[in-house]
């Protein structure tokens, strides 16, 4: 596959592994967090940890939007879907994420709620146009990569004067979560030496956003693509920064990411959305300024206002270790349900539902240590 195969060359990957092994100081360990679920998936899929030296370890981060959505927001969506006038449009992964007491949108659909799986925001607009007598709500979720399409969808709904359309907004931001991780007492014990920065998110927000982590937190950040050679090169760049006592933002994924990001996409988002004071993340708790909501001008498209929804906070299943895994302090194999009660066919927690979740990645690619 052109533009992918050249970044999956085994000989070059092993060469990069040799370079990491020869440059990594055997007297110390290196712990790098890959923030993004796509990177977690790539590490498991290509067995990258198997070719890294033992003193270079990867810590999985919270960069999977389905995984970090707390159970309370799923409960809110189920209440919305249970309203007889509502058609709730959701992406497939969300159907199986559990709210409190094992509830899910899939179960709500099975008992008669009108929950429809969509592939894009365009589908949701079409469903609203086809059902003028119903209230169509789009369950918006994702990091900075998926926020611009939601912004464009809202502008489109406004242009088409859609009166029966709204958005249940769960868009979240990467930098506040990275800051939360660095300030968490748990993770300070783990001592992260640097971050492999997200690929797609950085196409939108640019590398400049991460400079605070290098300058104020003293942590190197290397933005990396998703292919195995991208990741191996990014890890080598991080090892070199640590060895040279440098804390910089470097861009391995220069074929797609710039310092400024995508100004057009950023403008679309800032026209429609504003910061929430705080937003709950599974595993991280309430994170200041980490979530987005619709601006007052677009309040009529905000499902939380339109349906007077109350924020729900419910505890996680105590047997599920997703919270600790998303904070980077545990691995999937540390959960006693991993691979026994909890598998991709019978997921207990969100990290097993989403293909970008650490538990699903470890299970799918046989990473049992």
Within the chain, residue ranges assigned H as helices are 10-23, 37-45, 48-51, 65-68, 71-81, 105-110, 121-130, 147-159, 174-183, 185-190, 200-205, 211-215, 228-243, 263-272, 303-306, 322-326, 350-353, 358-364
Q: Which is nearer to ligand SF4, 84 or 315 (CB)?
A: 315
Q: For the CB of residue 140, give the shortest distance to ligand SF4 in the complex, in Å.
A: 23
Residues 251-270 as x/- pattern, contact with ligand SF4 by CB under 6 A: --------------------
Closer residue to ligand SF4 (CB): 7 or 338 = 338
Q: Please say whether the beta carbons of 151 and 268 come within 8 A.
A: yes
Do residues 261 and 204 lie in contact, with contact meaning Cβ atoms separated by under 8 Å? yes
With binding defined as CB under 6 A, does residue 68 bind ligand SF4? Answer: no
Which of 310, 323, 353 has the alpha carbon at shortest distance from 96? 353
Q: Which of 259, 294, 55, 50 is nearest to 157 (CA)?
A: 294
What are phi and psi for residue 70, nearest 5 degrees? -75, 160
Residue choice 337, 356, 361, 367 for contact with ligand SF4 (CB under 6 A): 337
Residue nearest to ligand SF4 (CB): 349
By beta-carbon proximity to ligand SF4, the closer residue of 56 and 359 is: 359
Rg of the chain in Å (alpha carbons) = 21
Closest alpha carbon to 60 in 247, 287, 322: 322
Report the residue from 61, 72, 142, 332 that binds ligand SF4 according to the rule CB under 6 A. Answer: 332
Residues between 288 and 327 with contacts to ligand SF4, criterion CB under 6 A: 320-322, 325
What is the C-alpha to C-alpha distance for residues 199 and 195, in angstroms, rounded to an integer?
12
Is the CB of 135 or the CB of 316 nearer to ligand SF4? 316
Site size with ligand SF4, rule: CB under 6 A = 14
Least distance between ligand SF4 and beta carbon 118 (Å): 25
- 265 versus 320: smaller Cβ distance to ligand SF4: 320
Q: Which helix (H) or strand (E) is 120 found in, with range? A: none
* Distance between CA atoms of residues 53 and 44, nearest Å: 16
- Give whichever of 53 and 344 is closer to ligand SF4, judged by the CB atom: 344
Q: Which is nearer to ligand SF4, 302 or 321 (CB)?
A: 321
**Footprint (CB under 6 A) of ligand SF4, residues 346-365:** 348-349, 351-352, 359
* 80 makes contact with ligand SF4 (CB under 6 A): no
Whether residue 328 contacts residue 190, with contact meaning beta carbons closer than 8 Å, is answered with yes
Kindly state the smallest distance separating residue 363's Cβ from ligand SF4, in Å.
Answer: 8
342 binds ligand SF4 (CB under 6 A): yes
Q: Which is nearer to ligand SF4, 235 or 322 (CB)?
A: 322
In whole angstroms, how close is the CB of 347 to ligand SF4 at the nearest point? Answer: 6
Report the interface residues with ligand SF4, using CB under 6 A: 320-322, 325, 332, 335, 337-338, 342, 348-349, 351-352, 359
């Amino acid at each position: 596959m052109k533009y992918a195969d050249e970044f999956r060359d085994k000989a070059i990957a092993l060469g990069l592994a040799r370079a990491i092994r020869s440059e990594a100081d055997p007297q110390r360990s290196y712990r790098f967090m890959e923030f993004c679920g796509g990177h977690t998936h790539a590490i498991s899929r290509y067995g990258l940890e198997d070719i890294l030296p033992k003193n270079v370890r990867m810590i999985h981060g919270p960069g999977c939007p389905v995984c970090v959505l707390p159970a309370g927001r799923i409960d809110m969506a189920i209440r919305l879907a249970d309203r007889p006038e509502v058609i709730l449009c959701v992406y497939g992964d969300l159907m199986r994420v559990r709210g409190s007491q094992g509830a899910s949108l899939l179960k709500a659909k099975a008992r008669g709620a009108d929950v429809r799986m969509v592939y894009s925001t365009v589908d949701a607009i079409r469903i609203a146009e086809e059902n003028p007598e119903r209230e169509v709500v789009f369950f918006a979720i994702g990091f900075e990569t998926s926020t611009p399409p939601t912004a464009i969808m809202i502008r489109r709904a406004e242009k088409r004067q859609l009166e029966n359309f709204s958005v249940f907004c769960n868009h979240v931001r990467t930098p506040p979560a990275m800051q939360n991780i660095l300030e968490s007492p748990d993770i300070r014990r783990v001592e992260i030496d640097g971050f492999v920065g997200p690929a797609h998110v950085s196409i939108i927000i640019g590398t400049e956003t991460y400079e605070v982590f290098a300058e104020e937190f003293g942590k190197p950040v290397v933005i990396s693509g998703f292919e195995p050679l991208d990741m191996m090169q990014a890890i080598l760049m991080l090892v070199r920064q640590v060895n040279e006592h440098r804390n910089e933002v470097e861009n391995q994924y220069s074929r797609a990411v710039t310092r400024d990001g995508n100004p057009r996409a950023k403008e679309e988002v800032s026209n429609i959305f504003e910061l929430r004071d705080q937003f709950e993340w599974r595993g991280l708790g309430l994170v200041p300024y980490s979530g987005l909501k619709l601006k007052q001008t677009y309040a009529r498209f905000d499902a939380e206002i339109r349906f007077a929804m109350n924020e729900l906070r419910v505890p996680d299943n105590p047997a599920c270790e997703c919270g600790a895994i998303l904070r980077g302090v545990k691995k999937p194999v540390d959960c006693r349900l991993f691979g026994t009660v909890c598998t991709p066919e019978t997921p207990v927690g969100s990290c097993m539902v989403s293909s970008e979740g650490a538990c699903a990645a470890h299970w799918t690619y046989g990473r049992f240590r």
